[in-house]
A and B are shown apart, each in its own frame.
Chain A
Amino acid sequence: MKVKVKLESSASRSHSAKKQQGLTFQDLILKLSEFWGKRGCVLQQPYDVEVGAGTMHPETFLRVLGRAPYRVAYVQPSRRPADGRYGENPNRLYKHMQFQVVLKPSPADIQDIYLKSLEALGIRLSEHDIRFEEDNWESPTLGAWGIGWQVLLDGLEITQFTYFQQCGGIDLDPISVELTYGLERIAAFLQGVESVFDLRWSQDKRYGEIRLAEEQQLSTYSFDLSDAKAIRAELELYEKEAKNLLEGFSQAKGADRERYPLLGAYDLCLKCSHLFNQLDARGVISTTERAALMARVRSLACKTAAAWVEQREGQSLAQDSEVRA
């Protein structure tokens, strides 16, 4: 098979490709939700505590633990204060939207299903350079890591594709697969726009109209006006409360133990993680301190995960039979 690329003809036609409308940002979310909803996913909602990634949503972090099968999909606005650019950079955001899919256990044809989801968005697979390029994922604050790729679409990273190996310091069994679609990037590709702020969110509203103020103000807050001293104090407070709660679990017995608010402890852990990110963006953490702070947050996450597994085990028989029914 001999194939030659004709460069001239491709140049003239590439302009027509740019004119394509593509899905609006909200239609993109609807399409993905529909696609994964049909494949047995619970369509969840974003978590209501600040998180840096969809993985931190309890629907991922806690659901991948233990043996019970689960499939879930949701949008998660993810805050990364250090990535903020005051809304001045066309590609960088303080807050971006992830579409998160978790399948537990991981199906054998998951790559094919994933590629079908791209087709569902109107991407013709044979016309594009789609590849799975090595990119292992790790979250030191969650004690979590996985093996996988970033999926590149004509050189653009559109999805993080990860086989979760460990979460909260616990080896996972069975293995879950996590797909994290970068919604802004995919929308920019589909719509052929250069700046995220020019994306059409709906038929008549642009991304910038809806989100620019947030980018400007939250960047200004995080980089210039946040009170590092206050944030440090808040971090200490949240951490202390989380620790106390986790200690209480070890004492709890019977029904109290079954209902013990580990989810409350996890929320506090997420708060700590976000406050840590705030301090980091403010540039007040040295490298050594950063490692130490991350270890503190990780310790909360790992303890919560271990306690959660223990608590679930008490109820697992009942829950397993419910799942089967």
Chain B
Amino acid sequence: MKSVPEDRAELLFEIGCEEIPAGMLPKAETELKTLLEKYLGADGLLAGASVETFSGPRRLTASVSGLRLRQSDVVKEVTGPPRSVAYDHVGAPTRAAVSFAEKQGVSLDQISFISTPKGEYLAVRQMIHGRAASEILAQILPRVIHDLSWPRSMSWKGLSDVRFIRPIRWLVAVFDGKPLRFTYGDLTAGDTTSGHRFLGAAKIRVRHFKDYETRLRHNGVIVRPAERRSKIERELAAAAKKAGCRLHPDAALLDLVTYLNEFPTVIQGNFDPAFLDLPDEILITVMRDHQKYSALEKKTGELAPHFLAVINLAKDPMGLVRAGHERVLGARFADARFFWQSDQKCRLGDILPRLERVTYESRLGSYLDKVERLRSLARWFAEQWFNLGISEAHVADADRAAELAKCDLATEMVREFPELQGIVGGLYARAQGESAVVADAVYDHYLPASLEDPSPRNLIGCAVALADKLDAVAGCFAVGIIPTGSSDPFALRRAAQGIVKIILDRKLTVSLSLSLMAAGKALHSYPPKIALPKGKEAQILEFILDRARFFFRERLGFAYDEVNAVFRAGADDLIDAQKRLEALRSIRKSRNFEPLAVSFKRIRKILEKADGLAVERQGIKTDLFEHPAERDLYSAVREAAAKVHGKKRAGHYREALEVIAGLRPAVDRFFEDVLVMAEDEAVRKNRLGLLAELLQEFSTIADFSEIGGEGAW
């Protein structure tokens, strides 16, 4: 397609708002682009055009370049009634012809005929002239504003008026250098935007995007988020260097301040070094979550008594802003110190009884109840590991850590900084002389909160974390709180994912089914004594295994069919499942493997068809063999089975799989020479029995019939 530059023009579109929450802007920016492309596409205006979108606290902006001035003209053909109906035997038009012509707005002589396999029909061909883009845009743009989706919209005038995330205060729409007129609510779009609240003019006329960007820059607004971000990054790095420090990295905070400011500028402030005896975690949380400041670290890794704030101004010549931020941070730190000191009046363990008043879930009792279950379950994990010869798995440590794990929920510090739960408990435990193992376990027991998070650093922490998550999943399922696609209020998916991640990260020997029984027992033994029915247990196990499948695929990169094959052979012990997966992955490229998998698939199909999976294994009678291939396969299976058992017991899955892969020639010959479904019933059953034995014997590492075929992609 040839493009004629004069036929193309540019659209500048801006929705001017009161401050939109920063966290919502990146998504809105993307959605604005998608919506514009959708509507421009639907009206045939998108070809050759390109849409770019930007956002900041007070505006969403789109720049569409290369837009055609008009739609193309199109010829439209409308088919009407059959000619035989529309005209009578003398060729006079009937009612059908007249009303078709009326409906299409043409006279009878403008009607033509088209032949189809079904006969001749009336038709009208009309040239539809393309509409002007400006006219279409004036209709599209209000729809785009309307269709932008927000977590929670509002009205600012009244119920019958338009809604948005925050009040819209102006609209800019300029196409081909001329303002587009349309209204939205009681606003009329025009060519006038607004600058930074304090650095710019309130009314600025703009002609096109380039002009808009330049004028806004002179009025204290950097339109492009990427440019704001790089300005912040540059200034943060420079300020850190100047202070002789390292920036405490925080990508989420950088995102946030990029969208919180129209003209971001970094300033450095200081705080009283005396606050540095508060734990770093608390200082950083106060700075980041409450004040959106970046923390600075000394070269030695400890925190420096400075902070970097991103302000929405070009400069702070008199240091007024800096003095204000310093005072606010000082007050926040003083608060935190007050909480720290007042919490130290009571030992963490002595807080325990207060947990009775903190509800965990109405049917699952208080946190005090939960702690009883936690202790029993954490002890159980430690005992399992201790019995396996892991000496650091002290049952007493697990019990103590579980006892203290939830106590910080009743402290002033966690009430003020809920995001520090666990961490505060760990810090207090350490400050109050608990052992490092117990303190670290308390500190870590909410980990991992995401796939990126690490698992608890010590074994006791793992025991408490597993107990905490397993109790959450088991308890919630028991009382009917089961996650759905859209709703998971207790974050059970995350809990199950956490269980899987801890086991695999730390290579822990855990039987999922036995742990679940232990969790069920704890639920039933302590108030409010909830029963976990067997059916629910299976449902929970499947729920956890589903997360495990996901983890193996997405996190460890195993193929879909590999995971299915191994899980069909059982995945109660995830470490063992991982070993089998690794063996499977390493052998599947070998010459014999995939063809053997095809044979296994064939065997499964034959057996399913013949209902032969139920055939008794002992029923194989060597005297019924008619072909040497049967006899050979039989002895190959017996021989391989013995070897495989040995290799498997020793955990040498790769070697075991090699032995199985070695069966390929015998299996191939069997299928070439032998007809399984023999006429003679005894012979047939005997052959089915042989195949059943083969399948069962060699499907305990992985079910090869899952490999390849439809499952693989």
Contact = CB atoms under 8 A, between A and B. Distances in A.
B199 A17 contact: no
A114 to B, nearest CB: 11
B318 A174 contact: no
Contact of B322 (A10, A133, A194): A10
Contacts of A113: none
A13 B320 CA distance: 8
B278 to A, nearest CB: 16
B389 interface: no
A236 B143 CA distance: 53
Contacts of A189: 324, 327
B359 A287 contact: yes
Contacts of B316: 5, 10, 129
B19 A129 contact: no
A288 interface: yes
A189 B218 CA distance: 31
Given A131-B19, A154-B324, 18 more contacts: A1-B217, A5-B265, A5-B315, A17-B319, A17-B320, A89-B338, A90-B331, A125-B197, A126-B198, A126-B313, A128-B321, A130-B197, A131-B261, A154-B327, A163-B155, A189-B324, A194-B327, A194-B330
Contacts of A14: 318-320, 322-323
Contacts of B155: 163, 165, 175
A13 B331 contact: no
Residue among B152, B157, B265 with most chain A CB within 10 A? B157
B157 A154 contact: no
A285 B357 CA distance: 7
B366 interface: yes
Nearest to A4: B315
Nearest to A92: B335
A90 B331 CA distance: 8
Contacts of A106: 156-157
Interface in B166-199: 166-167, 169, 197-199
Contacts of B309: 129, 155
Contacts of A247: none
Contacts of A133: 19, 260
Query: Can you list the 10 inter-chain pairs with the closest CB atoms, starting with the nearest?
Result: A154-B324, A10-B319, A14-B319, A287-B359, A134-B21, A132-B19, A3-B314, A147-B154, A14-B323, A129-B311
A136 B338 CA distance: 28
B314 A1 contact: yes
A286 B199 contact: no
Given A9-B317, A194-B331, A288-B362, A155 B325 contact: yes
B133 to A, nearest CB: 31
A7 B266 CA distance: 10
Interface string A256-281: 00000000000000000000000000
Interface residues of A, number: 59
Chain B contact residues: helix, strand, loop or mixed: mixed
Contacts of A17: 318-320, 323
Contacts of A89: 334-335, 338
Contact of B357 (A149, A154, A286): A286
Given A155-B291, A173-B158, A288 B320 contact: no
A30 interface: no
Contacts of B330: 194
Contacts of B226: none
The listed residue with most A CB atoms (<10 A of its CB), out of B266, B329, B331, is B331
Nearest to B313: A129
A127 interface: yes
Contacts of B218: 1
B132 to A, nearest CB: 32
The number of chain B residues touching the other chain, given as a range, is: 35 or more
Nearest to A153: B324
B75 interface: no
A136 B199 contact: no
Nearest to B323: A14
A12 B319 CA distance: 8
Contacts of B291: 155
22 contacts: A1-B220, A7-B239, A10-B317, A17-B319, A106-B156, A129-B312, A132-B57, A147-B154, A149-B19, A154-B323, A154-B324, A154-B327, A154-B328, A163-B155, A171-B159, A172-B159, A283-B354, A284-B357, A286-B358, A286-B359, A287-B358, A288-B359
Interface string A18-30: 1000000000000
A125 to B, nearest CB: 5
Contacts of A147: 152, 154, 166
A90 B359 CA distance: 32
B289 interface: no
A37 to B, nearest CB: 24
Interface string A172-192: 111100000000000001001
Nearest to A132: B19
B319 A175 contact: no
B267 interface: yes
B242 interface: yes
A228 to B, nearest CB: 12
A315 interface: no
